Each structure stands twice: as structure tokens, then as C-alpha cells.
Structure 1
Amino acid sequence: MFDLDGTLIDSAPDLGAAVDAMRVRRNLPSLLLSHYRPHTGAGARGMLHAAFDITPQHAEYELLKEEFFTAYRECMTQRTRPFEEVPELLVALLALGMRWGVVTNKAQRFTVPITQSMALFDTAAVVISGDTTPHAKPHPEPLLEASRRLALPPSACLYVGDDERDIRAGKAAGMRTVAATYGYLGTGSDVTEWCADAEISSPMQLLKLLKLP
């Protein structure tokens, strides 16, 4: 099972465009995608901090968050693409008889349109969004729900993600964990401190990690 943003797909261009449009509407200078990319893994919180230097405690945060969601919904499939090697990896896993799925903190209202816009996800055995269960990662419940839907014990599953909360959730669920270091990671992240079972710097490395042909 995989996290979505920063692990399977590069959604930073659309997320960055959405929040940057909010800056431009306020007569603030546009910022480069490279400014937003390191904050992408933190979702709306990260994007709003990058664009306006605010935190969820700010008085206008909730209003800005809803404005961001509206802007993102209008552009979320325009520039988002799978990371290089991801399509080949998923084809290889299927050829070996392995099922794969998605467990993301992204809300269903965004997850469904994005996954439906890419043929890549037609073969996913399960897709769990951030609001599919009452809890989001790092709580293990989304991963446990995925394993239930697959009728597999958590110990038979492996979870790949690019954020510390992915690894924490996977470990709490009793799954093996892999840190995708090619993802967003965030600023100042020390992946070794996450204590994942393994790390990969490109998607296809997962096959070698699993010792598959």
C-alpha cells in the first residue's frame, strides 16, 4: 500500500498553483514552485504557511483554508502526474500477482477525482482517503481498514510513504514500512529518525527491496 501525494503522484504543481493564485489575488508577488514543494506533504497547513506564513492558530486560517480548497478543486488534475517509474512499478507488482492500494490523508472529495482522472489507479485494490475512517494518519486505523478490505492481516502488508506520519501509522498498524525519500519529505527532515524498515530513493527500488525479479 502507498501514500498518494509525494509517493505515487506529484501534486505539488497544482497545490502550489492554487495557493499562489490566492497570493496574486491579494496583490502579493507570485512565488516559484520550488518555494512550495517542500511544504506539499503537509497539505493545506503547509501550503498556507508557505504562502502566508500563518499557522492553524491564526484568526483567518479556517477561511483561508476553505478558499484554498476551492481553488485547488478547480485545478487539481491539471498538472498532477505520477512520479517517474510509478506506472512501471505498479505494472510489475500486478504481473507478480501482488495487489496494491492507496492510503492517503487527502479528503475523499479530492482523492476520488484525482484517482479517477488517471488510468494508473484502475488497478488499485483499495483506496482509503483521509475521511474514510474517523481517524487520519498517523493513527493506524486507515491502514487497518485497508487491510480489512483486502482480507489480509496487517503483518502481510507493506506501507510506502514520504512522511514521518506514514511510517508511524504503518508501524502502529503492525505493517512493514518503507520511506520514499524521493517524495516531499519537508524541510529539515531526517528520514533515518523515522525508523522505517527500509528506504527507497526511486519507486522501482521497491522491487529490489522485495527481492522480486
Structure 2
Amino acid sequence: MFSGIRAVLFDLDGTLIDSAPDLGGAADAMRTLRGLPSLPLDRYRPMAGAGARGMLGVAFGITPDHADFAALREEFFQGYERRMTSSTAVFEGVPQLVAEIVGRGLNWGVVTNKSMRFTGPLTQAMPLFATAGAIVGGDSTPFSKPHPEPLLEAARRLELAPADCLYVGDDERDMAAGRAAGMPTVAATYGYLGGTPDIDHWQPDARISSPLELLLLLK
């Protein structure tokens, strides 16, 4: 149970929204364009939180140090941009969670490593985010998670001390960023998790297996 919390900050992909169908679909379309067989969504889903790096790793088995990575990444970005709201949906329970947070007089916001090229249009297209007090993307500051600066920027925008904010995410870097920012952290174990995680190693202050469980942790 957390007390004294005045705002809840969330990661985006895998925590508030299920964007894996569109992320995976964009990468899989690149495979089929090249005559490769389609892969099932279940192959892409665990790595959806890693964005282009995760999707291209699944689709083509390449890493960012590969000579073709930059070109493939931009191709992926363009493909994702064309479809990023086609099949993306808010996780079950998230609208009720956000409504209850607002109803309790708390602020809320988003801190994601997704660049504002995608985060801006995506959040503007989804009614859920109309009440968000801060939306910080991966390029909103000079750093991205696990660096604490994006979380600190969100706290500044909300005019709150970091310790007044709770951070919820589905990746180890989310917990690391929260700790470094001086915020209590909650691991969303219903999210993508990055493959085969050891959540105990992440050292979250708490964990939830569904969005609405978060309400039980907020006094």
C-alpha cells in the first residue's frame, strides 16, 4: 500500500495499451514483402516493448549493430506509422483505472521510450489520454529510460516532487528508472515483460497482474 501519492505515471506499450498487433504486424509485413513466411503474433508480443529493436530482432534476427539495421528500422517506422491505431487497444480495466485515479483527485501521465513521432499521434487518437497531465516520449528529454530524466520531467510538468509520483511499467528499465528518480515502482506483470523476465531481479516495490489491482495499492 502506497500513501501520499499525488500522481500515477505509466509506461505506455504493454502497460496501458496493447500495441503488439500493430508493432508486430508492421514487422511481419516486412518479412512477407521479402518472401519470408509470416510469424504468429505470439512471437512478437513479448518483445513489443522494445520497439523497432525488438520487432526487427524477432522478424529478422538482427541487432542494432547490424549494417542494415538503420534502413530496416526506418522502413519499420514508416510501416508502423501507417497502421499504429489499426489494432492497438487499451488493456481491459485501464479506462476504469484511469477514471478512478482522476475521480480520487490524483494526477496521471505517461512516460514512454516511444518517440513523440508516434506517441503524440497515438495518444491524441485515443480518448483515454484526454485527462493525462503529462505525456513524455523517448525523445522529450536528452535521455530515455532507464535514465530517470524522463520521469523527472513528467514530475516537473505535473509540478510535483518525484516522491509524490508512482511509476507503473512492464519492463526492467521502468523499475530502474523509477528507483533512480526516487519514485516508488509497480511492475505490471500482465504486460510484455521483454521475453523471459526475472521480475524479482527488477526489485519493484509492488506488482500487479491486472490494471485494476493498482487501486488496491493506493490509499
Q: Does 1:48 align with 2:65?
A: no
Q: Does 1:72 align with 2:80?
A: yes
State the secondary structure of the residue aligned to 1:114.
Answer: helix
Match of residue 106 from structure 1: 114
Structure 2: which amino acid aligns with 1:202?
Answer: S
Q: Does 1:90 align with 2:98?
A: yes
Q: Does 1:168 align with 2:176?
A: yes
1:134 to 142, 164, 184: 142
State the secondary structure of the residue aligned to 1:120.
Answer: helix
Q: Does 1:118 align with 2:126?
A: yes
Count of aligned residue pairs for this structure pair: 211
Q: Does 1:37 align with 2:66?
A: no
1:59 to 64, 67, 73: 67
CA distance in 2, matches of 1:149, 1:93: 18
Match of residue 210 from structure 1: 218
1:158 to 137, 160, 166: 166
1:199 to 194, 199, 207: 207
More relative contact order, 1 or 2 (CA 8 Å, 6+ apart): 2
Q: Does 1:5 align with 2:13?
A: yes
Instruction: Provide, for residues 78-105 of structure 1, a one-character-per-residue CA deviation record: whole Å limited to 9, x for no partner.
Output: 0001000000000011111011000000
Structure 2: which amino acid aligns with 1:178?
Answer: V
| Structure 2 gap ranges (5+) | 1-8
Instruction: Provide, for residues 9-64 of structure 1, a one-character-per-residue CA deviation record: whole Å limited to 9, x for no partner.
Output: 00000001100000011000011101110111111001000000011111101110
| Structure 1 gap ranges (5+) | none
CA distance in 2, matches of 1:33, 1:42: 15
CA distance in 2, matches of 1:198, 1:102: 19
**RMSD over aligned Cα, in angstroms?**
0.6
Structure 1: which amino acid aligns with 2:205?
Answer: D
CA distance in 2, matches of 1:153, 1:116: 27
CA distance in 2, matches of 1:24, 1:188: 27
CA distance in 1, matches of 2:149, 2:194: 24
Match of residue 181 from structure 1: 189
Structure 2: which amino acid aligns with 1:13?
Answer: P
Match of residue 146 from structure 1: 154
Instruction: Provide, for residues 91-129 of structure 1, a one-character-per-residue CA deviation record: whole Å limited to 9, x for no partner.
Output: 011111011000000000100111011110000011000
1:187: how far off? Answer: 1.6
Percent identity, please: 64
CA distance in 2, matches of 1:35, 1:195: 27
Taking structure 1 as the reference length, what is the TM-score of the superposition? Answer: 0.98
Runs ≥4 residues deviating over 2 A? none
CA distance in 2, matches of 1:188, 1:102: 25
Structure 1: which amino acid aligns with 2:84?
Answer: M
State the secondary structure of the residue aligned to 1:100.
Answer: strand
